[in-house]
Structure 1
Amino acid sequence: MHILIIDDQDCYREFLSGLLQGSDLNISIAEAATIKVARAKIKAPQQPYDFVLLDHMLPDGKGLDLLKEARNHYPDLPIAMLSAKEDPLLAWQCLELGALGFIQKNTALAVLLSAIQLMLAGGRYIPPHILPHMPMPKYKSNTSASNKHEQLTPRQSEVLDLLYSGLSNKAIAHRLKISEATVKAHITVIFKLMGVSSRTKLIAQHNSTSQQ
């Protein structure tokens, strides 16, 4: 899994890089300290990025502007915003623009790693103490069965359709031009959301629903 960390503080980039590389995840890290460098890395990566951690305040601009630009040109690129401030409005703006989450830099190590793992699996993360103060409640979890498909990200919906078609993880990764690790992370979220524990049960559930 290839991750890009965009932050102007060398010590914080090194901290995040060490945290991720020291986890059980198989991760390689690329870094950028400015929007200009980050833009070039995203546009022409040595290998496609599976995830981006983006600081809100950078020397040559705001991360929110780069997030907006990236969502327009690379809609399938998962991005999470980093911020030194507890700002519900900023968190809401990030999610409205398509970010998978909002992480405060003073977050405890265990929580930070769990949040990143959640987003790598396709979930959204907002600090629990910020969520009640956000301007809009649309990002609160909705577990209604009728809304299962609506809770999937566009990429997860693509993975789900390919699962229904019977493709293997390797074939899905090749079709969508993502890593097998990312495919597995998406499948984990899909299984949990759909209430199944295996590919066989997922397809059986789909076939049963289609026949009704």
Structure 2
Amino acid sequence: MGKILLADDHGLVRETIAAYLMQNGLHEVTAVGDMTGAEAALDTSSYDLILLDYRMPGMESLDGLRKLAERFPDVPVALISGAAGGEVARQAIDLGAAGFLPKTLGPDDLIQAVSTLMAGGAYIPDDALADASHRLTPREVEVVRGIAGGKSNKEIARDLGVQEVTIKLHVKTLSRKLEARNRTHAAMRARDLGLV
């Protein structure tokens, strides 16, 4: 039996995951709703695993993960998310996360993931890393960041020192990769994936 700290700002999700882990994994779970609560819990008790929601108050994208991984290097930290994709999973691992758990995981997979993490292993579902369709080239990332910043194709072309037609090609390619309907949708999808 291990002690798990679960931080998620959605009460129903938090309570459902906590109850399931306690019933099926026989773990003791402390559930909090934001980063401040997580830090307070960690200051008063020790845990065998920390599960952090990617989007919750105080998380500041992946800064909260980085901070906890640095403060508690001996405790595995895993990111849980309902929206983030493969790029965020890769960034989280680069920052010291031991795992990435999509909220779409089935109950048995969740128990398996937690068991793996508590045994000192890493857990990332294959489909999170096989998210190759979302892998933008560095130039495509620059272009979608320009779009997200409200710049026109002409402005992005001037910033990057290329022709406007080149930017139009990049927009077409990155929109296809992101399964976006238009420039604005591409910027929104890129933001959801943590690319901008």
* SS at 2:14 equivalent: helix
Q: Contact 2:15–2:31 at 8 Å: present in 1 too?
A: no
Measured at CA, do residues 71 and 44 of structure 1 come closer, stay the same or move farther in structure 2, by a change above 3 Å?
A: same
1:53 aligned to 2:51?
yes
TM-score (norm 2): 0.63
After superposition, where does 1:11-22 map in structure 2 within 5 Å? 11-22=12-23
Larger radius of gyration: 2
Q: Contact 2:59–2:65 at 8 Å: present in 1 too?
A: no
Aligned residues: 132
Task: State the alpha-carbon separation in 2 of the partners of residues 27 and 126 from structure 1.
Answer: 21
After superposition, where does 1:1-212 map in structure 2 within 5 Å? 1-23=2-24, 25-45=25-45, 48-62=46-60, 64-133=62-131
What is the percentage of aligned positions where both structures have the same residue?
30
Measured at CA, do residues 21 and 63 of structure 1 come closer, stay the same or move farther in structure 2, by a change above 3 Å?
A: farther
* SS at 2:12 equivalent: helix
Q: Contact 2:5–2:30 at 8 Å: present in 1 too?
A: yes
* SS at 2:112 equivalent: helix
TM-score (norm 1): 0.58
RMSD: 1.6
* SS at 2:126 equivalent: coil
Flag structure 2 segments of 5+ consecutive residues without an equivalent.
Answer: 136-196
Q: Measure how far apart 1:56 and its partner are.
A: 0.5
Partner of 1:144: none
Measured at CA, do residues 63 and 31 of structure 1 come closer, stay the same or move farther in structure 2, by a change above 3 Å?
A: farther
Superposed CA deviations along residues 131-163 of structure 1, whole A, max 9, x for unmatched, are: 23366xxxxxxxxxxxxxxxxxxxxxxxxxxxx
Q: Measure how far apart 1:63 and its partner are.
A: 5.6
Flag structure 1 segments of 5+ consecutive residues without an equivalent.
Answer: 136-212
